[in-house]
Structure 1
């Protein structure tokens, strides 16, 4: 009777046999459906093309609309094509397309997988922050107070309108004893400043400065910079030539800095992947890349897609890096803790 019950319900020894039968049926269907390898050739080519763009992004020329810099600015977002190709490969039932998709997956994780982990640590001697406050900020006082409340020892602000400088100075005076404003950028510090001067970005007006911060652990050269904005235009492509020239000028100034410990705070209007910023990025470390948690995108504040605001250091050890809550600006403020 028990044997009859097992036979009727398919339990007992029928389980392994049924599983083996299913596997044989699957192998037979795959053998009969030879199109599973022929279908999806176009999708496979798309996966290969995506892989080549990510591997050889530095070889994409900038001679035509700065296409290379544009692709490098949003390089991490090339990952959005991977699930799309996966869905299409499944719909097409193409083994070739699905296998080819492994190529861009491996390359993307090789390029950006390290940013998916939390590399922040404890300790550090100095907390620095930087924020493009936006010239059209509707509430500069609230923005200044919010940044001051971050606990930073040194704060750099960019895009300071002349008519609002006094408001920022008043709001930050209670937290920071020392400050200097040069053109449209400024630095507020709990420690004494000296040897402060503007830095020429070849723009015709001041958008960068350099100063020495007398930290308890010794002097630190701090640069504050706001490189020219970039635009994407249909008739001109990625208009970044002025930004590129200013980046070269900033890199030259930092290269001639006599102090061994240097920090750069500012809106560079470019990411660490953008080869146009090589004059700067080749000699300094990004705190986000070295000690951040995630990509740390800072712009636009409503839906951050790129980290164009940077805290970079030389001769200093990054310990942690993070983004701060949104203010009235279209950028997110960012902060870092460093060991001098």
Structure 2
């Protein structure tokens, strides 16, 4: 049997899908949200779009299509342009202030163990989301020795080695899922916001349902816009990635620590096999020198951490 030769004539369909993949990577803001929030759903898992190249490459090799192989350079280059920088280690030594944020899960079977794991990082501030009222004393007991200052507002809380003041809830929902406090560090005050935005779902009949999250995002962004502190840090579970256009009201004003000082994508959810970074640390007026994702605890999210320089 004659072996099939490489040719430029076969593989036009494969080449077309390669071009489409590149277009999705480069022009994802043009994908509309009008139907099922398709744009936000794509942006939530945008880094994984690059995996579409694998089956296309296999098909191109089977078909021995030179045209398809050349076309596959487009999505490869597009992915590298979009995400290649995130794969480099941008962490630096030093810094003045380390903060950890964790959605601890209100069904966490080991609150005390989770708290001890976070305290072991040596962070100066720990922010917790999805606190269950009956379990709060367990977190308080586990963190009391190392973190003498703390405040819990609704389902979010903050523990600090430095004094806290002016702590108050931030109204983003009918019940309290966000707070704002001032952390008085030896190098000056820092405004810290802790937030847990509503969950999102993917449903066959409705698509990517994110209306509640997006509305809360707008209210949170309004609170950030009114902040007068020179140094501001916003942490929490945003149920959205920094690539998602829904977070634009925040990302227009603040920078994602992971993008500036991380090593890799830092996916946080689900904890067992993370697919997206929906837990974030955003900053303004400070410089991230290191950002990373911590090992899994008994929660369904992984904790995130960042060291900041004033």
Q: Give the TM-score, by structure 1 length.
A: 0.89
Tell me the alpha carbon deviations over residues 113-167 of structure 1, each in whole angstroms, 9 at most, x when there is no partner: 0011000001100010000000000111100111111110000000000110111
Aligned pairs for 1:12-31 within 5 A = none
Q: Report which of the two structures shows the higher radius of gyration computed on alpha carbons.
A: 1
Could you say which residue in structure 2 is the equivalent of 1:116? 87
Equivalent in the alignment of 1:9: none
User: Quick one: distance in 2 between partners of 1:64 and 1:303?
Assistant: 29
2:224 — aligned with what? 254
Q: What is the alpha-carbon distance in structure 2 between the residues aligned to residue 276 and residue 94 of structure 1?
A: 40
Partner of 1:330: 300
Runs of at least 4 residues off by over 2 Å: none
- The answer to whether the aligner puts 1:310 opposite 2:280 as a matched pair is yes
2:20 aligns to what?
Answer: 49
> Helix, strand or coil for the counterpart of 1:206?
coil
Instruction: Report how many residues are paired.
Output: 309
Secondary structure of the equivalent of 2:269?
Answer: coil
Aligned twin of 2:204: 234
Measured in 2, the distance between the counterparts of 1:287 and 1:206 equals 25
Aligned to 1:95: 66
The one of 227, 241, 245 aligned to 1:275: 245
- Among 57, 69, 72, the alignment partner of 1:86 is 57
Give the SS at the match of 1:36: coil
The structural deviation recorded for 1:190 is 0.3
Unaligned runs of 5+ residues in structure 2 are none
Task: Supply the distance in 1 between the matched residues of 2:201 and 2:121 (Cα, whole angstroms).
Answer: 31
* 1:50-81 alpha-carbon deviations (Å, 9 max, x no partner): 11111110011111000000000000001111
Distance 1:279 1:253 in 2: 11
Matched, 1:216 2:186: yes
Residue 77 of structure 2 is matched in structure 1 by 106
Structure 1 residues 304-337: Cα deviation after superposition (integer angstroms, max 9, x where no partner): 1100000110000000011111100000011110
- How much has 1:297 moved relative to structure 2? 0.5
The runs of 5 or more residues in structure 1 that have no matched partner are 1-28
SS at match of 1:37: coil
Q: TM-score, normalised by structure 2?
A: 0.98
The equivalent of 2:29 in structure 1 is: 58
SS at match of 1:89: helix
CA distance in 2, matches of 1:265, 1:41: 47
Is 1:129 aligned to 2:95, yes or no?
Answer: no
Structure with the largest fraction of helix: 1
Identify which of 254, 260, 266 aligns with 1:296.
Answer: 266
For residue 38 of structure 1, report the CA deviation from its aligned partner: 1.1
1:321 maps to 2:291: yes
Residue of structure 2 equivalent to 1:150? 121
SS in 2 for 1:122: coil
* RMSD of equivalent CA atoms: 1.3
Match of 2:144 among 163, 173, 177: 173
3-state secondary structure, aligned to 1:38: coil
